[in-house]
Amino acid sequence: MLTLLKRLCLALRRAVSAVVILLFAVMMVAVLVQVAGRYLFNYSIAQASEIATFSQIWLVLLGAGVALAKGQHVAIDILPARLPLPWARAALVAIALVVLSFLAVLAWGSQPLLRMGEFQTSPALRIPMKYIYLCLPVGAAYMALELLLSVMLRWNDPFPPPEPDAEEIV
């Protein structure tokens, strides 16, 4: 069962990472199109601006989950790292509960936006805004999943020392 769960999580991480890369590429192309339209043709392309904005919004919320999966969020853990194992585990769980509470508020608070987004369309692309607002509960759910996985994986060593980057080793 645990092996199946690990495989599913790895597949999900790969899929979300691929989506993040795709969103970044789409955002970059949209910005380049907008700049080229404005400075080469003296014409502003509103659709390119919206595509870049909406891609960035989704990129930030999914990218935060990817960063959480890789342990790349900023954390001050000097105090919990010095605690004995039972207390360090308690600190790990307490921190996770605070973050999960925030993510639950984010997901719950996005519900009125989603309902309102059913009746709104974006100005340039004319797509329903509910698809843009959907990034809030989806991003929160993905971050919550990665947070729970992080707690399970770090249970035996809740606050390990940071691993040096490849550049730091050289």
Residues in the chain: 170
* pLDDT per position as a tens digit, 56-113: 999 999 999 999 888 888 777 777 888 898 998 999 999 999 999 999 999 999 999 9
Question: pLDDT per residue over 123-161, tens digit each?
Answer: 999 999 999 999 999 999 999 999 998 888 888 888 877
User: What end-to-end distance do the CA atoms of the chain give, in Å?
Assistant: 40
Contact 109, 31 (CB under 8 A): no
26 — pLDDT class (breaks 50, 70, 90)? very high
What's the pTM value of the predicted model, to 2 decimals?
Answer: 0.86
Token pair recorded at residue 89:
């585990």
CB 148 within 8 A of CB 92: no
pLDDT at residue 165 is higher than 70: no
Backbone angles phi, psi at 165, to 5 degrees: -70, 165
